[in-house]
């Protein structure tokens, strides 16, 4: 992408979200920004324990991610990890991940991906349980935004399912919110049918999306697919995040999903994190940043 095109791509798109794209879907340099009173950061898909050639040092790339975030001049109010902290849910993987994530300067919020709950959710809750969220899902208010953190990897036979109990929670939770309140939703698997052929969808996600339609500005942030894909449905903006571990193929461009081998000197340009700020007008401003 030429610089002129890039600049044109950084701009308002509808209800207050600015999207920033580079050739790999990530920014390689930080644009000039006005200081913001509130921001948070999203990271995702660290897959601690992964050792294959696509990234033989996933701990190193997570460490670099953390160092970059810790060096931000305006520290985020919190960092949310949207799942797949570990590769195989092993105790040693959780230990390593928790030690690394513990070096973040900002408070940490973690939700599970399917790689964190292989067999059971025991290890995940042992490391990242919240006292206010015994079921895993929760909501909170911060910086003028109402946050809803969902879990769509607990169903035994379906990845990408919320279940009626969680949908009931969301319905009750959102009923108390004003139409003008900015809403940000976290989840691991995309809530909409991004690419069902590869399991990149949430079976009952439409039920939650229906509950979100009445709000002026909704931002849904997911991980799972290891690449940035943006999608808009009316007032709802979706953005999947880059991984800190390794990229995956774009939907349908390979026979199957899985780790994508890129040239070693290009790997960091496919990995990154995302800063999110409350924008003037009520929406959010989302900025993706590459590690290199």
Partner 1 sequence: MNKLIPSLALVALTFALHGAGARAATPPALLPAVLTIHIKDFKFNPTPAKIHVGDRVTFVNDDDEPHTVTATDQSYDSEGLDTSNTWQHVYSKPGTYKYFCELHPYMKAVVVVTPAPAQ
Report the interface residues with partner 1, using CB under 8 A.
49, 51-52, 87-90, 114-115, 117-122, 135-136, 153-159, 163, 199, 255-259
Closest CA to 6 of 22, 30, 26: 22
As a whole number of angstroms, the distance between CA 242 and CA 271 comes to: 6
Count CB neighbours of 160 within 10 A: 24
Q: In this complex, which beta carbon is closest to partner 1, that of residue 122 or of residue 266?
A: 122
**Minimum distance, C-beta of residue 212 to partner 1, in the bound complex (Å):** 24
- Residues in CB range of 109: below 8 A, 6 or more apart: 78, 79, 80, 81, 149, 186
As a whole number of angstroms, the distance between CA 233 and CA 251 comes to: 19
Q: In this complex, which beta carbon is closest to partner 1, that of residue 72 or of residue 118?
A: 118
Q: Are 289 and 68 in contact (CB under 8 A)?
A: yes
**Minimum distance, C-beta of residue 168 to partner 1, in the bound complex (Å):** 15
As a whole number of angstroms, the distance between CA 242 and CA 92 comes to: 24
DSSP 3-state assignment of 115?
A: helix
**Minimum distance, C-beta of residue 116 to partner 1, in the bound complex (Å):** 10
Strand 218-222 relative to strand 236-240: parallel, antiparallel, unpaired?
A: parallel
Q: Are 28 and 261 in contact (CB under 8 A)?
A: no
**Minimum distance, C-beta of residue 123 to partner 1, in the bound complex (Å):** 10
Q: In this complex, which beta carbon is closest to partner 1, that of residue 163 or of residue 292?
A: 163
**Minimum distance, C-beta of residue 288 to partner 1, in the bound complex (Å):** 25
Q: Are 273 and 292 in contact (CB under 8 A)?
A: no
Q: In this complex, which beta carbon is closest to partner 1, that of residue 10 or of residue 260?
A: 260
Q: In this complex, which beta carbon is closest to partner 1, that of residue 183 or of residue 271?
A: 271
**Minimum distance, C-beta of residue 98 to partner 1, in the bound complex (Å):** 18
Q: In this complex, which beta carbon is closest to partner 1, that of residue 39 or of residue 44?
A: 44
Q: In this complex, which beta carbon is closest to partner 1, that of residue 226 or of residue 237?
A: 226
Q: In this complex, which beta carbon is closest to partner 1, that of residue 89 or of residue 219?
A: 89
**Minimum distance, C-beta of residue 12 to partner 1, in the bound complex (Å):** 38
Question: 112: which 2 tokens?
Answer: 């599970």
Q: Maximum distance among all alpha carbons in the chain?
A: 50
Burial class (CB in 10 A: 0-12, 13-18, 19+), 166: buried
Q: Are 78 and 117 in contact (CB under 8 A)?
A: no
**Minimum distance, C-beta of residue 263 to partner 1, in the bound complex (Å):** 18
For residue 223, give the DSSP letter.
-
């Amino acid at each position: 992408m030429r610089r002129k095109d890039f600049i044109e791509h950084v701009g308002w798109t509808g209800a207050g979200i600015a999207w920033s794209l580079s050739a790999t879907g990530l920014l390689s340099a930080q644009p000039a920004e006005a200081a913001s009173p509130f921001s948070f950061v999203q990271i995702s898909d660290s897959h601690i324990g992964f050792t294959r050639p696509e990234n033989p040092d996933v701990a190193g790339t997570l460490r670099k991610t953390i160092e970059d975030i810790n060096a931000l001049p305006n520290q985020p109010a919190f960092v949310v990890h949207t799942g797949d902290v570990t590769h195989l849910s092993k105790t040693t993987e959780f230990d390593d991940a928790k030690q690394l994530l513990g070096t973040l300067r900002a408070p940490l919020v973690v939700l599970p991906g399917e790689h964190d709950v292989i067999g059971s959710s025991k290890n995940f809750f042992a490391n990242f349980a919240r006292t206010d969220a015994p079921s895993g899902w929760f909501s909170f208010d911060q910086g003028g935004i109402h946050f809803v953190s969902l879990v769509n990897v607990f169903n035994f036979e379906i990845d990408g399912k919320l279940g009626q109990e969680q949908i009931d929670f969301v319905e009750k939770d959102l009923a108390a919110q004003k139409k003008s309140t900015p809403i940000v939703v976290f989840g691991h698997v995309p809530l909409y049918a991004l690419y069902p052929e590869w399991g990149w969808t949430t079976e009952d996600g439409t039920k939650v999306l229906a509950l979100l339609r009445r709000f002026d500005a909704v931002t849904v942030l997911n991980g799972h697919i290891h690449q940035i894909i943006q999608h808009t449905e009316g007032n709802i903006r979706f953005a999947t995040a880059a991984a800190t571990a390794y990229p995956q193929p774009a939907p349908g461009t390979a026979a199957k999903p899985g780790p994508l081998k890129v040239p070693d000197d290009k790997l960091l340009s496919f990995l990154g994190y995302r800063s999110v700020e409350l924008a003037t007008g009520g929406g959010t401003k989302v900025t993706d940043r590459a590690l290199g």
